[in-house]
Amino acid sequence: MKKEIHPKNYRFVVFRDMSNNTSFLTRSTAPSRETVKWEDGKDYPLVKLEISNTSHPFYTGKMKLVDTAGRVDKFMNRYKTHIDKKK
């Protein structure tokens, strides 16, 4: 393996899924300007996520659409007759 290719500044960071407010603590080098108080009473850097394994349809088994600027609505309107025929 190559030496000196991995970062050395790993630290504990809290990642928060903003779609369902679940958080988890892990080690990372991800930059952050915000901090949050964790369950152990210590402050850790906070990295906000739009989607994680707790909200992603593949992991939850639920069909949940993440709509960005109405793209899903445009698609559904365009192919509505085709989708209705399959049901």
Report helix, strand or coil for 82.
Answer: helix
Residue 20 CA to residue 82 CA, distance in Å, equals 32
Ranges of each domain in the chain: 11-86
Nearest Cα to Cα of residue 26 among 45, 42, 41, 7: 45
User: Which pLDDT score is estimated for 87?
Assistant: 63
pLDDT along the chain (87 residues), means of 10: 86 92 94 94 94 74 63 77 70
User: Which pLDDT score is estimated for 54?
Assistant: 81
Token duo for residue 33: 């300007």
Token duo for residue 39: 């369950």
Determine contact, residues 50/21, Cβ cutoff 8 Å.
Answer: no
Amino acid at 51: I
User: Which pLDDT score is estimated for 65?
Assistant: 58
